[in-house]
Chains A and B, each alone.
Chain A
Amino acid sequence: MLRESPKLRSVVAILDCHLSREHPEFFGNSASRPYSPLKPYKVVHDSLWGTNRFTWRELALIDSPIIQRLRHIHQTGLAYYVYPSAQHTRFEHTLGVVTIASRIFDALSERYSKTLATIINEIFGHKEADEKKTVSALAKLKQELRLAALLHDTGHSLFSHASEKVYSEIGLLKRAGEELSDLIAKEKGVGAGEVLSFCFASTQAVSGLLDRARQKVAGEEGAPDLHWEVDLSNVALMIVGSARHQYLQFLGDIISSGLDADKLDYLLRDALSTGLPLRYDLERYLYTVTIEKDYMVDQDARLKQLYRKTKASVAPQPRAAGTLKLATYDAYRLKLPPRATNTMEQIIISKMMLFSYIYHHQKVRAAEGLLEKLLIRLVSYWRQEKMTEERMLLNFLDFTDASILGRDFLSSPSRDIKETSYRLNFRILPREVYRFSSAVSHAEGKLVKRLFRRLKERGKRVSIVRDLDQAIGEELLLLEPSLGNSWADALWKTGVWIDAPKPPQVEEVELAGEFPIEEWTEAYHAHRYYVRVYAYSEHVKIAARAARAALKRKIGVQTDDFYEACRRKRD
């Protein structure tokens, strides 16, 4: 499948080489693990979803370093600095996603057995209905779905999404991401973490481990599912919301879409772990979720190329899209019908509340912003030391949250890195100096709205923030020349930055017409979404003066009472 994707192949090869070097017992040429005979299945108890079974294939992966490292990465990054009980990790979330994906699959199998039989006959080329073959094919698809859920977060580095923004700038990974977007014909779902998870699922290391697991389980009495092999290319595609065949698109939707198992797990798990009383009705979701025949447009024949690579024998059909006639592929998709409106409302409100209470909490943003600055500085230090991009990528994959205490951070030879790591490690976090919202009734509100409009544009957000940062840095130097030789020095020393997080998106849920999603999101954005200015506590006063002067210059709002209203004060 990756024959025409050299950068993706290169990342896969790097991962294979790294895994075999670092974990030879699991992934080397003479790998011996899994060492003991595998049980056909084991049960694991989860605080959220109760007792769940995991198959021998899953156990082999769970007991390997690829999944075990997720035990050491907090699911909600540095949110535990605000919510002390938010200690849950990517590991338990991963097992939770396997469980929920499986339950969705079971709910569909129970209610849409005929549709699934049609899909299976089409894909596996069964000439006539054969219940035994259908059951076996269903078990294989379910196993592939569960493996995709198991591997979907393997690309995470320290503190989850808080570090992703930084390693996504590594050129090699960026180019691999572009290839992956081209391969699956969509931009969605291909953040740097997903690119790496996709690559992990494509490694020889994973396929080799599963082969050895089969040999270890073969002798076990009653071991199930030995007569077929999983298609790891399908597993990899599901991780990024796609599938090897158009009719299997609903499986990709279960792993990565607006209704996916990932969201169903993290919403409840994050709420439970932080102590927030948010709920949605999973049983209602499972009772109402459907598979529907739909179609996907194929612009630039990219789907055609994908299905050629996966050897799916399918043909496009021309259909009208507006005034154009475009090639399309029939596909089975995961959908929620109008009677699931209440459940979708609960899911969307929960998501908005979690952003407001946890992910965009001012102290969580302060901690994660500080981590981001620290990692940017670390990468720049590595570049000075002439480190290769490959090594940088592997460093990020070796990092877990505990790395912050180690030689790259708290014991770094770089004083800047060491000092900032100390701050982060002991929660000496920057403070909020100003907080701006787009819901302003001020006479000069038009200017603020203009800024927010520009920030809503993905292509402009980074340059606007950089421009504002620079302006504040220049003002800092004017006020206090001893802060350094450049505006960047002044910002670093005072811990000042503009924080404009990416707003939460409500994914393309077709129920949108049935209830006012927009009203919910509008209320959130207007009253809970903020652009902030941060500074270290000891520099708050000078930062407030500098930011006010810079924003007067850049946004154009001149009246002091506006800034007073937006100023965050402790007294």
Chain B
Amino acid sequence: MADELSLGDVVCQLALLMKRNNLPIGFKDEAPWHLLFYRLKREAKQGRPGFLDHLRFDSDARYPRCRELSEFLHGLHTACIVDVANPSFEEMILPDDVMSDWEQERSALDTKSKSFLAQGLEIAKEEFPLKQEVNA
């Protein structure tokens, strides 16, 4: 059920989709993640999970910043669930076993949730800079 998707589920599933679509999964610069969720909160309609309504964004950075999201992104790394590219920490790397685990979770999702995640992927394509842009 779409309303059962949690913040963590959406982060993991979007990271998976980004990987499948050859998008860089940013880690050190968190801004794209926050902007992605900020836009999802404002724009997403179809299959919108309930947690989005309670997500809070702080106004003390250069972008709307959600502490809960930040905590989870760091938690994924510090709990050794995902890797990051050393020594620059630019990108998140998904180990094969984690990808297959999340893939399994994805296959159990309903159509509404998948549609919501598809909206998320489209926003991610706009907010996450491609590698050549990062290097430019």
Query: Whole-angstrom distance between the alpha carbons of A401 and B79 in the complex?
Result: 35
Contact partners of B8 in chain A: CB under 8 A: 453-454, 456-457, 460
B116 at the interface (CB under 8 A from A): no
Contact partners of B75 in chain A: CB under 8 A: 453, 456-457, 503
A449 at the interface (CB under 8 A from B): yes
Q: Find residues 86-128 in chain A having any chain B CB closer than 8 Å to their own CB.
A: none
If the complex has contacts A297-B59, A302-B59, are A503 and B78 also in contact, measured as CB distance less than 8 A?
yes
Contact partners of B56 in chain A: CB under 8 A: 181, 187
Query: Whole-angstrom distance between the alpha carbons of A296 and B76 in the complex?
Result: 27
Q: List 13 A-B contacts (CB under 8 A).
A: A186-B58, A297-B59, A297-B62, A323-B127, A449-B79, A457-B6, A457-B7, A458-B68, A458-B72, A503-B75, A513-B28, A513-B89, A526-B78
Contact partners of A242 in chain B: CB under 8 A: 60
Query: Whole-angstrom distance between the alpha carbons of A456 and B11 in the complex?
Result: 12
**A449–B81 touching, CB < 8 Å:** yes
**A438–B6 touching, CB < 8 Å:** no
Q: Per a CB cutoff under 8 Å, which of A185, A322, A526 touches B60? A: A185
A81 at the interface (CB under 8 A from B): no
**B39–A324 touching, CB < 8 Å:** yes
If the complex has contacts A449-B79, A449-B80, are A521 and B62 also in contact, measured as CB distance less than 8 A?
no
Give a binary string over B13-25; 1 marks a CB under 8 Å from any A CB, 0 the rest: 0000000000000
**A438–B79 touching, CB < 8 Å:** yes
**A299–B28 touching, CB < 8 Å:** no
Q: Per a CB cutoff under 8 Å, which of B38, B78, B86 touches A521? A: B78
* Chain B residue with Cβ nearest A516: B87
**B126–A323 touching, CB < 8 Å:** yes
B32 at the interface (CB under 8 A from A): yes
Query: Whole-angstrom distance between the alpha carbons of A297 and B62 in the complex?
Result: 5
Interface residues, chain B, with chain A CB atoms under 8 Å away:
6-8, 12, 28, 31-32, 35, 38-39, 51, 54, 56-65, 67-68, 70-72, 74-81, 84, 86-87, 89, 97-98, 101, 126-127
* Chain B residue with Cβ nearest A252: B60
Contact partners of B78 in chain A: CB under 8 A: 456, 503, 518, 521-522, 524-526, 529
Give a binary string over A233-274; 1 marks a CB under 8 Å from any B CB, 0 the rest: 000000001100000010000000000000000000000000
Contact partners of A188 in chain B: CB under 8 A: 58, 60, 67
In angstroms, how far is the closest chain A Cβ from the Cβ of B8? 4
* Chain A residue with Cβ nearest B127: A322
A221 at the interface (CB under 8 A from B): no
Give a binary string over A290-301; 1 marks a CB under 8 Å from any B CB, 0 the rest: 000011111100
Query: Whole-angstrom distance between the alpha carbons of A326 and B65 in the complex?
Result: 13
**B63–A452 touching, CB < 8 Å:** no
User: Number of A residues contacting the other chain (C-beta, 8 Å)?
Assistant: 51
Q: Per a CB cutoff under 8 Å, which of A181, A294, A298, A505 touches B71? A: A505
In angstroms, how far is the closest chain A Cβ from the Cβ of B59? 4
**B35–A322 touching, CB < 8 Å:** yes
If the complex has contacts A323-B127, A460-B8, A505-B71, are A296 and B81 also in contact, measured as CB distance less than 8 A?
no
- State the main secondary structure of chain B at its contact with A: helix
Contact partners of B28 in chain A: CB under 8 A: 512-513
Contact partners of B65 in chain A: CB under 8 A: 508
Q: Per a CB cutoff under 8 Å, which of A297, A326, A439, A512 touches B80? A: A439
A541 at the interface (CB under 8 A from B): no
Q: Find residues 295-320 in chain A having any chain B CB closer than 8 Å to their own CB.
A: 295-299, 302-303
In angstroms, how far is the closest chain A Cβ from the Cβ of B123? 9
Query: Whole-angstrom distance between the alpha carbons of A456 and B7 in the complex?
Result: 11
Contact partners of B126 in chain A: CB under 8 A: 322-323
**A321–B58 touching, CB < 8 Å:** no
Query: Whole-angstrom distance between the alpha carbons of A298 and B63 in the complex?
Result: 8
**A522–B77 touching, CB < 8 Å:** yes
Q: Per a CB cutoff under 8 Å, which of B6, B39, B101 touches A459? A: B6
If the complex has contacts A516-B87, A524-B78, are A296 and B72 also in contact, measured as CB distance less than 8 A?
no
**A187–B79 touching, CB < 8 Å:** no
A283 at the interface (CB under 8 A from B): no
A519 at the interface (CB under 8 A from B): yes
* Chain B residue with Cβ nearest A449: B81
A446 at the interface (CB under 8 A from B): yes
Q: Per a CB cutoff under 8 Å, which of B67, B81, B89 touches A518? A: B89
**A446–B101 touching, CB < 8 Å:** yes
Q: Per a CB cutoff under 8 Å, which of B35, B61, B67 touches A296? A: B61
Contact partners of B67 in chain A: CB under 8 A: 187-188
If the complex has contacts A321-B63, A521-B78, are A185 and B58 also in contact, measured as CB distance less than 8 A?
yes
In angstroms, how far is the closest chain A Cβ from the Cβ of B88? 8
Query: Whole-angstrom distance between the alpha carbons of A299 and B127 in the complex?
Result: 17
Query: Whole-angstrom distance between the alpha carbons of A187 and B71 in the complex?
Result: 13
Query: Whole-angstrom distance between the alpha carbons of A438 and B98 in the complex?
Result: 14
Query: Whole-angstrom distance between the alpha carbons of A456 and B69 in the complex?
Result: 10
Give a binary string over A501-538; 1 marks a CB under 8 Å from any B CB, 0 the rest: 00101101000110010110110111001000000000
**B80–A438 touching, CB < 8 Å:** yes
Contact partners of A298 in chain B: CB under 8 A: 59
Contact partners of B72 in chain A: CB under 8 A: 456-458
A545 at the interface (CB under 8 A from B): no
Query: Whole-angstrom distance between the alpha carbons of A525 and B86 in the complex?
Result: 17
Contact partners of B35 in chain A: CB under 8 A: 321-324
A21 at the interface (CB under 8 A from B): no
* Chain A residue with Cβ nearest B63: A321
Contact partners of B68 in chain A: CB under 8 A: 458-459
Give a binary string over A172-205; 1 marks a CB under 8 Å from any B CB, 0 the rest: 0000000001000111100000000000000000
In angstroms, how far is the closest chain B Cβ from the Cβ of A316? 11
Query: Whole-angstrom distance between the alpha carbons of A524 and B72 in the complex?
Result: 16
**A299–B71 touching, CB < 8 Å:** no
Query: Whole-angstrom distance between the alpha carbons of A400 and B107 in the complex?
Result: 53
Q: Per a CB cutoff under 8 Å, which of A295, A323, A449, A505 touches B74? A: A505
Contact partners of B87 in chain A: CB under 8 A: 516
Query: Whole-angstrom distance between the alpha carbons of A403 and B6 in the complex?
Result: 41
If the complex has contacts A457-B72, A505-B71, A525-B79, are A303 and B31 also in contact, measured as CB distance less than 8 A?
no
Q: Per a CB cutoff under 8 Å, which of A185, A294, A439, A452 touches B62? A: A294
